[in-house]
Amino acid sequence: MKKTDSAVAVEPVATVPRGRKNNPEKTREDILKAAVAHGLTGARVDAIAERTKTSKRMIYYYFGSKEQLYVEVLEKLYGAIRNTESELNLGELEPVEAIHRVVEFTFDHH
């Protein structure tokens, strides 16, 4: 220890290596986003791992298989579309107008 003029002991500052912080939810979300970019046949697990700075092993840990990853991507996208669709307030419209709105909405989101 070093002594300063005020007689307070000063410890040398240890450098702490900065590692990757574990955030499983963010990792899962990053993997899903990377998988969306190319679809089932275009998305290679090794490319997704590289883009998300994780390993293929972690992708299989979170999703089990490439196909299950794709299923979760579809569920997430479908859920987002249906949530947005619920904001159309179709119950307040006449049936024909409601159908027109749903069709228009569906085409706008494809």
In this prediction, residue 81 carries a pLDDT of 87
pLDDT at 46: 92
Chain-centre distance of CA 45, in angstroms?
Answer: 15
Q: What is the pLDDT of residue 21?
A: 63
What domains can be seen in the chain, in order of their start residue? 20-108 (1.10.357.10)
pLDDT of res. 110 = 67
User: At 3, is the secondary structure helix, strand, or coil?
Assistant: strand
Gap between the Cα atoms of 32 and 79, Å rounded: 14
Provide the pLDDT for residue 26: 92
pLDDT value for 20: 52
Token pair 């190319």: residue: 38
Cα–Cα distance, 71 to 77 (Å, whole number): 10
pLDDT at 17: 43
The whole-number mean pLDDT for each consecutive block of 10 residues of the chain, a chain of 110 residues, reads 48 43 87 86 88 93 94 91 88 94 86
pLDDT in the model for residue 56: 95
